[in-house]
Structure 1
Amino acid sequence: MLDRAFGGLPAPVGDHARTAAGMQGFSDAPVWGGEELSRVLSSGIVAGEADGLLHPDAPVTRENLQTLLSRVYALEGTNRKDDFYETVNKTWLDSSDIPAGLSVNGPFYGLSLTVTEQVAKLISDIAAKPQTPGTPEAKIKALYDSVMDVEAREAAGVAPIQEYLDAIETAKTLSELIDVECRLQKELGLSTILGFGLTSDFEDSNRKVVAFSSFGASMTKDFYENGTQEQKDAYLTYLAKLLTLSGLSEQAAMERAKLVYAAEAKVAKASYDPQEYGDVDKINNIYKLSDIQRQFSKISLAKVYEASGLAPSDRILVTDPGAMRAAASYFNDAGLATLRALSRTAILMSVGGCLNQGFIEASVEFTKAYYGIDMTQTTEQIAAQQVQGLLADYLGRAYVEAHFSEKAKQDVEEMIHEFLEIYKTRIEALDWMSDATKQKAICKLDTMKIKVGYPDSWETYLDNADIKSPSEGGTFFSNVISIQASAKEKTLAEQNTPVDKTDWLMEPFTVNACYSATSNDITFPAAILQKPLYDVNASREENLGGIGYIIAHEITHAFDNNGAKFDENGNAANWWTEQDYAAFQQKCLQVANWYDGQEVCPGVSCSGVL
C-alpha cells in the first residue's frame, strides 16, 4: 500500500542509510508480499516488532500507519508540512557521513573536529621550538614531549605504579586495604574505592560542601540492565585486558573482571535513574560523618577523611544514598577480594593511559567491539589530546589569542541581552502564572550572568605544577601526578572561601554552551562562536538561526524542571507560589508525554522524562 501510494519509495542514502531498519529482512516475511514488500523493506522504514519479527498477519492499527507515514515523510524529505526538519536539511542529511573515530555527526561535531585541529596546531607549533623555562609554553612542550616518548613509557611499563599494585595485592585485611587507599589519595591524588571531595553547596551557592563518594558503575545503568551479551563480553574482555597488562595471569584477570562487573552491576541497580540526577530534591542529601560511618561500620572513615586533606565539616553531601548503601555492603571481610579487584582496576583506568601503549590499545579495542568505532590515533594526536585536557587553562589563553575577536564577544553578548528581554516579555504575558512568581522569574533573568568567549581572569594553579621534559627526568606519569597535586592544592584552598562565580565551567576551546543553576549564568566559549554556528560577518538573521537557538536553549534551562528549583542567587529554593508550581509541573508533564515514544529514527523512540 505504501509503495503504491507514494509511487515507489527511494533507497535510503546518507543519514537514512545509517538509521535504516528492516533491510536485512524478516524470518516471517510472507511470500505473498513479493516485490512490493521487498521494495518497502529496502527503503529502511520497517522496523518490525520488539521480538525482531514482522508479524504480517497482525492488524495494522491507526498508530502503526501513522508511524510508517512519518517514516516515509522523513525519507522523502520533500514537504515542509510533512517533516520540516528532514526537508530543510535534506541536502546535508543525504550527503552526510560520520568521520572516522566518531559515532555521530552534525554542526557541533564537525566544528569540534575543526577546533581539535586548531588546538593541535597550537600545541605542535609550541612543541616544535625551544621555550623559556617556567613559562606556560615550556610546560606545554614538556608535557607533549613526555607523551611522545613512547620508547621510555614502553620500557617502564607499569613500574611507576607497581608498588601500589603490590600493596593492594598484599592487603590481607580490610583495614590494610583502607591504608593503601589513603596512601593512594595522599601520594597520587587518586580515590579508587571511596573518598571525599568538594562540590557546590545547593543550599548556599556561595560556598562549597564536602561530598562523599564510593565506587560506582563505570558504564550506564541501562548497560547493566539491558545490555546485550556481546556488549557485556566486550566490557569484561576490556577489564581483563587491563588487569593482564598490570601483571595478572589471564585466568586471574578474568576472575577479577567478573568481580568488578558484579559489584558495579549491584551498585547500578540501586542507583538513581539518569533523569533523577538532575533533580536537586533527590541529590541534595546532607549527612554527618558519623551517619556515613554507620553505613561503613567495618572501616575508619575518619582515616579516609584525613587522607583527603580537607578541613573537618559537619555537612557532607551524598548524591545517591541507594548507590552508597549498595557499595557499603562490600566493605567487610567477605567483600575484600572484590574491593581489591575494584581498587586495582580503578588505578589502571585512571593512569593506565600514562603508561605503556597497551592500555591505550585496550581502550581502542573495547570501543571498537562495543560501539563499532575505530578510535585509533597517532601518537601525535594522543599527545595533543592529553596536553589539551591536562593543561586546558594554558591552552585556553593561546586559543583565544589565535581564534577569537573582541567584536564577536560584544556581538554575542548583545544578542543574549535581546533574548533576555524577549523572555521577560513572554513571562509577563503568561496567563497561568501569578504576578508574584513572575517577579521572581524576571529577577532571575535580570541577575543572570553572561559569560562569552573567555574568562575575565585565568587560572594560575598550573604554575605550581612541576612539569618536566624527558631530558629533565620527567615522564608522562610523573607530570600527570604533579598536575593532579596542583589541582588538589587548589581545591583544598577553596573549602572555606567564598565561591568565585566568575570561574568558568568550560574551556574557551570547548564546542558547547551551558547554563549553571548554582551560579545562574550562561556560558558560550570562544570555540562555539564560529562557522557554521556563528559568523561575526554574517547577517543577524543567519546568526539567530545558528547560535541564536542555542542561546534561547540555554536560557530555558533556568526555567526547566530542574533549573526552576533554583533562585536568582543559584540556591536551591522554592520561589513559586503553590498554585503556580502545580501548574508548571502539569505543563512539564505535558511536554514529557508529548515526547515520550516520538521516533528519532525507525525503531528508536524518545523517553519523555529524559
Structure 2
Amino acid sequence: MNKIRARMLGILLCVALLFSIVPAQAASKAEEFVTREEAVVSLLNTIGLAALNDAPSDLSVFSDADQINSENADKIAIAITNGLLPVEPGEALELGVHITRLEFALIVGNSMRELPAIRSPLAFEDVPAEVAGKIDRITSAGLMSGYGNGCFGSDDYLTKGQLEVVLNKIRALSSIRPQDDFFYAINHQWLSTTKLPAGYPGMTTFDEVDRRNTDKLKAIVKDLVENRDTYQEGTIEQKIADFYLTILDMENRNKEGIKPIQKYLDLIDGVSSAQELLDAMVQLEAETGMRPLVSFAPDADLNDSNRHSLYAAGLSTGLPADYILMGNPQIDALYTGVITQLFSLSGIPEAEAAEKAHSLYAFEKVIAQNTMKNEEASKVENIYNPVSRAELVGMFPSVDLDKYLSDLGFGSVDTIILSDVNLMKKTGELLSDDNLDVLKTYCRFRILASTASLLSKDFRDVTMNFQKAFYGISSTMDEEEIAFNLLNSVMSDYLGRIYVERYFSAKAKADVESIVSDIIAAFEDRIEALDWMGQETKEKAITKLKTIKVKIGYPDKWKDPLKDISIKTYADGGSLLGNIFAINSAQVKENKSLLSKPVDRSAWYMPPHMVNAYYNPTNNEIVFPAGILQPPYYDVNASREQNLGGIGTVIAHEITHAFDNNGAQFDENGNMNNWWTEQDYTVFRQKCQAVIDLYDGLVIAPGAVVNGNLTVSENVADIGAMACILDIAADIPDVDYKALFESYAAIWRFTGTEQIYQMLATQDVHAPNKYRVNRVLQNFEEFYKTYDIQPGDAMYLAPEERVTVW
C-alpha cells in the first residue's frame, strides 16, 4: 500500500511539474481565453486615447459590422483608425474569436508609439522573423515574456490572467526609473499623451514650438487676407495675402487641372534625341526653376570660402536610394503605384502608365546602385571633387554637355565641383539616345512629382495618400495647414520679418549672447586642458574658436528676394503655379549671378521664426534664429541650470560642430585646410571612431538601427556640448544637476511612427532623439552621481566604454 501510495504521489508530482511548464494553451479550463474585442477594449481602457488619433473609422465597411457590440463600437472604430486591428474594408473583424499571444503583443506595440528599453530583447523560436523586431520592443519594455523554454507561445490563446498581467505592467510604465531609461522616465507623460497632428509622421519639441509660432503667424496672415484691399500692389502684405489666396483657391486650381504644366510635358514628349532633351531642360529651368536632369548651382567654395564655385549634381531617385535598393515588396508597390497614378492623371492610358512606372523604377534602381551611400556623403571630404570642364564634358560621350553648360549661362566656367563622382559618370553614360524613352519618362515623373501638390485636388490627393501610406500616418493636414506650410516655405523671409517685429525681445537676444560668451570661454578652457592634443594644435583650435561669428535672432539687414516679382490671384489673371514659377525662375537667375560676386558673409540660411540652429563651416559661424529662443529651450525666467540644459546645450552643440569630424577640416576663415599636426589628427580620428562604435547598432524601432558612421558628426557635437555645459554648471553654487539633465531630456522629446524611425535611421545624420539623451548622459560622472546609477542599471555604462572627445 505504501509503495502504491508512493507511486501515485510520484505520478501526481510529475503531472504537476508537467502542467507547470506546458504552454498556457493547455492551462486549466477554468482559465478563460480572451476575445479580440475584449483584448482591444481592455487595452484602450488602460492606455487611454490621449496619444491616439481619435477619429473613428467607418465600421460599416466590414462584413461582420452587425455583430459589433454597440458599447464597444467607438473604441473598435478608433483602434482601426490607429492600425491596432490591421483589417481591410470588406473583410471580417472577427471580434468574437480568441486572440493569440502574438496577435495581442503586436496590438500592444501598435497602440503605443514609445516604450522604454529596460531589458535585453529575447529571441523566440516561434516568433516569425518578420515581426521579431516588434516583439523585441514588447519584451525589452518588460510587458511580456516567453515561457522560459525558448518559446513565446505565439499561437497560444491569451488568457484573462495573462491579459491582466500585461495591463498592470502597462500601468506601471509611469514608474520607470531614470536609472533604467532616462529619456522615457523624464518624458513619460508627454510620450504617452501626445497626439501626432494630422499629416505629421513624428512630433518633437521643435515641432511643438514651431506650431506655436505658426499659430501666431496664421493669425497675422488671416488679418492680412481680410484687409488685402487696403494694401498697395508690390507691398509685402499684398504679396503674402494674394499668394495665400491662390493656394486656397481650389476651385480655380481644379478648373486648370494639368494645364499649368502641360506645356512642359508636351515639350518633353516632342524631343527626338538626348541632346534635344538637354535643350528642353534649359527652357524648363529658365521658365520654372525645375532641373530634372543634370543640375548646376553656385555655392561657397570649400577651399576658398570667399568666392562661389559651380557645383553639379547628376540624376537622382524619387525615393531615397536605400529604399529603392532594399527590395521591400510593399514599398516597391507603393512607389510604382504612385508613379502609375500620376502618369494616368497626366493623360497616359492606365496600362501604359503602369508599364512606364515599372521601366522608370528599373532605371532608378541603376541610379541608386551608383549613388554614394549616405554615410559616405556625410563626410565633407567625399563631396568636394573639383574637375575641369573638359573632364566633366568627357563623362558625357553621347551629348554635348559643353553646349548645355553654355546654354545655362556657365560658358566661362572652367572648374566644376562634383558631390558624387561615380553618380555623375553613370549619369553621363545613361544620357544617350538609347535611353531616350526612359529619360523622357524620368523627366515627366520629376515634373509631375514636383508640381502635383500644387495642381488640382486629384493630383494633390495622390501625393498625400502616398505620404500617408509611406510614413504610416492615419490622417492628413487640413486645407489651412497645407496652405500655410506652402506660404511659409515660399515667403519665409517676409513672415520672419513680421514675426521678429512682434514677438522677439531685445532682452532675450542680449541674455542669449551672454550665454554664448560663457560657453565659448568654457570651451576654450576645455581645449587647454585636453591631454591628447599638442600645444601647436591647441593654439590653432582656440584661434578658430575665438573667430566664430555669432548670429542671434535675425539678420542685421533684411533682404527682399521677391521685390521684382508680381504676385497675382486667379481673379487678377494669376495662378498658384504661375506665381511659384515666377519666384523659382527669378531665384535661379539670381543664384547664377553669384559666380561673379564674393560670398555674402552676412547671409542667413534659416528664416528668423524657424525653430532650429546651425553651424556653417565655410563662414565659421553659429546661427540661432529667434524662433528657438523660447521655452522649453530658453526662458528668461527659468533657472540657470534649466537654460543650460536647454538652449545652452544647443549652443554648445553648434560650437562643437566647428570641431567635429567635418568641421575640424575647416580653419578659422572657413576654408577646408588642415591645421592639425599629424599625431593630433590621428588621435582625433581614433576618438571619433570610439564615438562611432558607441552608437553603431543601437536599435530605436523595428527595422531602425543606428548607423554610427552616418551620425558621428552630430554625436561628437552632442557629447562635446554636454561636457562643456557641465563645466559651466560646476561653478554654480549648489548646482541643481537634476534641473539641467531633465531640461536636456525635455528638449529632445520625440514620438513618431515606425516608418519615420526607419526612414530617419537611413537618412538622418542625427542619432534618434532618445539616444541624443541616454547615450550622451551615460558618458558623464555627474549624471551617475545625480541619479545614483549603479552597475546592473540599464543606464549604466562601464567607465572604460565611456567616450569624450572635446
TM-score normalised to structure 1 length: 0.88
Aligned equivalent of 2:177, options 79, 92, 97: 79
Corresponding residue for residue 488 of structure 1: 588
Equivalent pair of 1:513/1:525 in contact (CA under 8 Å) = yes
- Structure 1 pair 136–312 and aligned structure 2 pair: CA distance change class (3 A): same
In the TM superposition, what is the alpha-carbon distance from 1:127 to its structure 2 partner? Answer: 1.5
Please list, as runs of the form range in 1=range in 2, the aligned pairs for 1:411-422 lying within 5 A after superposition. Answer: 411-422=511-522
Q: Deviations over 1:195-232 (max 9, x none)?
A: 32112211111111111222211222221222521111
Task: State the SS of the aligned residue for 1:366.
Answer: helix
When Rg is computed on C-alpha atoms for both structures, the one with the higher figure is: 2
Equivalent pair of 1:15/1:97 in contact (CA under 8 Å) = no
Equivalent pair of 2:198/2:476 in contact (CA under 8 Å) = no
Please list, as runs of the form range in 1=range in 2, the aligned pairs for 1:47-446 lying within 5 A after superposition. Answer: 48=123, 50=129, 52=131, 78-129=176-227, 130=229, 131-226=231-326, 228-310=328-410, 312-374=412-474, 376-446=476-546
Task: State the SS of the aligned residue for 2:310.
Answer: strand
Task: Give the whole-Å Cα distance in 1 for the aligned partners of 2:525 and 2:307.
Answer: 33
Please list, as runs of the form range in 1=range in 2, the aligned pairs for 1:508-527 lying within 5 A after superposition. Answer: 508-527=608-627
In the TM superposition, what is the alpha-carbon distance from 1:465 to its structure 2 partner? Answer: 1.1
Amino acid at match of 2:452: G
Equivalent pair of 2:239/2:567 in contact (CA under 8 Å) = yes
Task: Give the whole-Å Cα distance in 2 for the aligned partners of 1:155 and 1:162.
Answer: 14
- Structure 1 pair 59–351 and aligned structure 2 pair: CA distance change class (3 A): closer
Task: Give the whole-Å Cα distance in 2 for the aligned partners of 1:199 and 1:13.
Answer: 51
Task: State the SS of the aligned residue for 2:556.
Answer: coil
Task: Give the whole-Å Cα distance in 2 for the aligned partners of 1:245 and 1:36.
Answer: 42
Task: Give the whole-Å Cα distance in 1 for the aligned partners of 2:221 and 2:122.
Answer: 47
In the TM superposition, what is the alpha-carbon distance from 1:80 to its structure 2 partner? Answer: 2.7
Q: Which residues of structure 2 form unaligned runs of 5+?
A: 1-19, 21-42, 53-83, 86-99, 110-114, 136-145, 153-168, 711-806
Task: Give the whole-Å Cα distance in 1 for the aligned partners of 2:296 and 2:703.
Answer: 43
Amino acid at match of 1:551: I
Task: Give the whole-Å Cα distance in 1 for the aligned partners of 2:293 and 2:105.
Answer: 55
- Structure 1 pair 471–585 and aligned structure 2 pair: CA distance change class (3 A): same
In the TM superposition, what is the alpha-carbon distance from 1:186 to its structure 2 partner? Answer: 2.3
In the TM superposition, what is the alpha-carbon distance from 1:604 to its structure 2 partner? Answer: 4.4
Q: Deviations over 1:440-477 (max 9, x none)?
A: 11111111111111111112221011212223211111
Q: Deviations over 1:226-255 (max 9, x none)?
A: 252111111111112222222111122222
In the TM superposition, what is the alpha-carbon distance from 1:329 to its structure 2 partner? Answer: 2.4
Aligned residues: 578
Amino acid at match of 1:119: L
Matched, 1:552 2:652: yes
Q: Pairwise CA RMSD of aligned residues?
A: 3.0
Q: Which residues of structure 1 form unaligned runs of 5+?
A: 2-10, 25-33, 61-70
- Structure 1 pair 47–606 and aligned structure 2 pair: CA distance change class (3 A): farther
Structure 1 window deviating more from structure 2 (532-541 vs 403-412): it is 532-541
Amino acid at match of 2:338: Y
- Structure 1 pair 16–566 and aligned structure 2 pair: CA distance change class (3 A): farther
Task: Give the whole-Å Cα distance in 1 for the aligned partners of 2:533 and 2:151.
Answer: 46
Task: Give the whole-Å Cα distance in 2 for the aligned partners of 1:40 and 1:348.
Answer: 38
Q: Deviations over 1:396-415 (max 9, x none)?
A: 10111122111111111111
- Structure 1 pair 199–16 and aligned structure 2 pair: CA distance change class (3 A): farther
Corresponding residue for residue 600 of structure 2: 500
Amino acid at match of 1:84: F
Equivalent pair of 2:308/2:594 in contact (CA under 8 Å) = yes
Structure 1 window deviating more from structure 2 (332-341 vs 37-46): it is 37-46
Task: State the SS of the aligned residue for 1:495.
Answer: helix
In the TM superposition, what is the alpha-carbon distance from 1:260 to its structure 2 partner? Answer: 2.3
Amino acid at match of 2:677: T
Task: State the SS of the aligned residue for 1:451.
Answer: strand
TM-score normalised to structure 2 length: 0.67
